[in-house]
Amino acid sequence: MSFYTFAKMEVSFYKYQGTGNDFVMIDNRISRFPKEDIEFVKKLCDRRFGIGADGLILLEEHPSLDFRMIYYNADGNLSSMCGNGGRCIVKFAKQLGVIGDLAKFEAVDGIHEATVVDDRVLLRMTDVKNIIVSENHTFLDTGSPHHVELVEDLKNFNVKINGASIRHTTYGTEGANVNFVENNGEGVFSVRTYERGVEDETLSCGTGVTAVALSLFETKNVTSNTVTLETLGGMLTVRFDHDNGVYKNIYLEGPATFVYKGTWI
């Protein structure tokens, strides 16, 4: 199906956000969406000429699980795992009647399980086996690659300029997401994240706060296996087990909210 043909059809979409990380959701169980059309995805995510979102997510049929999640960054390209997007698609699947309060689905990084509790979603992330600890930062993959760095005066820190510099100069063409972290005291850490693909700071990043929580534990900045993270878009909680150097049973918990439904004509 060509872009022109698809663009002339009325396409239902749903807008969701998870702590300010927002997504265009499309029910693609009948496989009508032009998945190779990067420019169309980019246009839908554009905040001036489209719907506006940090990313676009397709919900598709899966032969044995509840559904499959296909995630695009705002630049129109297929991307790695998105934790807040994963929580939001679970709520979307419940709204569509695909699931009840429990879900098991496939994303680009493997199989995920999730539970819906009122307005919150607890999403099980993939295990993490390798955290690279450097002098002033850590690097790990929580479904997406993440740089984690402790800074001072995070409120006034230029996340976009510093994040873009690290994303491109340190991690090359493929890049990485960059998280800047500050201890607020009382066991709460503030996180601000520059996301590749969006190429800007987002209000929240689910795989990012997961990376931050594990990094803080790995570097002994926290001793608890339950870490509360404050993003610009709200609070998230990460819980995990640590066994023989491997982080298992990692859960990302926070709100996932339906914003509105619309039609692209």
Cβ within 8 Å of residue 69, ≥6 positions away = 57, 58, 59, 60, 85, 86, 89, 105, 106, 107, 108
205 catalytically annotated: yes
- Catalytic annotation, pick one of 114, 205, 212, 214: 205
Query: What phi, psi does 85 have (nearest 5°)?
Result: -65, -35
88 catalytically annotated: no
Separation CA 66–CA 155 (nearest Å): 41
The one-letter amino acid code at 110 reads G
Angle between helix 206-218 and helix 83-96 axes, rounded to 10 deg: 130
- Catalytic annotation, pick one of 24, 57, 74, 82: 82
Q: What is the DSSP string of 24-81?
A: EEEE-TT--S-TT-HHHHHHHH-TTTSS--SEEEEEE--SSSSEEEEEEETTS-B-S-
CA distances from 79 to 76, 126, 252 (A): 9, 16, 19
CB 77 within 8 A of CB 199: no
Catalytic residue numbers read 82, 205
